[in-house]
Amino acid sequence: MAASLLRLHFHDCFVNAILQGCDASVLLDDVGSFVGEKTAAPNLNSLRGFEVIDEIKSVLESVCPRTVSCADILAITARDSVVLSGGLGWDVQKGRRDSLSASKAAANNNIPGPNSSVATLVAKFQSVGLTLNDMVALSGAHTMGKARCSTFTSRLTGSSNSNGPEINMKFMESLQQLCSESGTNVTLAQLDLVTPATFDNQYYVNLLSGEGLLASDQALVSGDDQTRRIVESYVEDTMIFFEDFRKSMLKMGSLGPLTGNNGEIRRNCRAVN
């Protein structure tokens, strides 16, 4: 579940980041007239790990009720997922409070899509206060996890301009075979074929050999000289990547937190108190 739990934190922080970024709004269920973010396009039938968060929250509530927020649980779980998968840890800042609301529209608009160009990625990250370097470092989370065929069809059809000269025909053929055999867009492919469950710099190595699964991944080496140089530095030295990722995760985790009397400490992460 490591990749899924890391992704939950990312999708939580990127929505309404300026006002109340990492606020556990992503965990709220649709109930009655209340519409959460789980049915937004980037999240629907894609995000998972909610039951893991429920279990952690249940244990915490039994020991110290109304003390640890769901937003903090997401941040800590993301860090632990990286550590348990072979990456370096960091001291997670705590004290976030949980939101009383969610925004499906913001989830649809703010979370970068799998076919994004470098310019789009940079704009999305800069809009929440993160830099181009943060974007390249945080993209390294794709060193773990899977993606559906529907998210990388542009790579297969050539309709994306992010393939560039680094197109790897053998890799493309293997993906086409995987997706055509199933006849469905829900078939999953590994984001990193070499070390799919390990947090390392292999994702960037793959990009340089034309084996980025998503168009937005491959664009980092074919769509911009600046991002390519950063990728190359991560390939040359894993510790540079680990350190940049740590810094960027801390930066993302501190986007517009609810503190003080704002928000609440939910008893159940799926619903406001």
Distance separating alpha carbons of residues 132 and 196, to the nearest angstrom: 25
The token duo for 69 is 């927020």
- CA angle 99/77/152 to nearest 5° reads 90
Give DSSP secondary structure letters for the chain. Answer: -HHHHHHHHHHHHTTTHHHH-SSSGGGPPPBTTB--STTSTTTTTT---HHHHHHHHHHHHHHSTTTS-HHHHHHHHHHHHHHHTT----------BB-S---HHHHHHHSPPTT--HHHHHHHHHTTT--HHHHHHHHGGGGS-EEEGGGSHHHHHT--TT-GGG--HHHHHHHHHHHHHHTSTT-EEESSSSSTTS-SSHHHHHHHTT--SSHHHHHHHHS-HHHHHHHHHHHH-HHHHHHHHHHHHHHHHTSS-B-TTSSB--SBTTB--
**Residue 15 annotated as part of some ligand binding site:** yes
Q: Which candidate in 3, 7, 8, 11 is catalytic?
A: 11
Residue with tokens 């310019």: 119
**Residue 142 annotated as part of some ligand binding site:** yes
For the question of residue 9 being annotated catalytic, the response is: no
Q: What is the distance between the terminal CA atoms of the chain, rounded to a whole angstrom?
A: 27
**Residue 67 annotated as part of some ligand binding site:** no
**Residue 42 annotated as part of some ligand binding site:** no
User: In 10 A of CB 31, how many CB atoms?
Assistant: 11
**Residue 68 annotated as part of some ligand binding site:** no
**Residue 21 annotated as part of some ligand binding site:** yes
**Residue 259 annotated as part of some ligand binding site:** no
**Residue 91 annotated as part of some ligand binding site:** no
**Residue numbering of the annotated binding site for Ca(2+):** 12, 15, 21, 23, 25, 37, 143, 192, 195, 200
**Residue numbering of the annotated binding site for heme b:** 142
**Hey, which residues are catalytic here?**
11
**Residue numbering of the annotated binding site:** 12, 15, 21, 23, 25, 37, 112, 142-143, 192, 195, 200
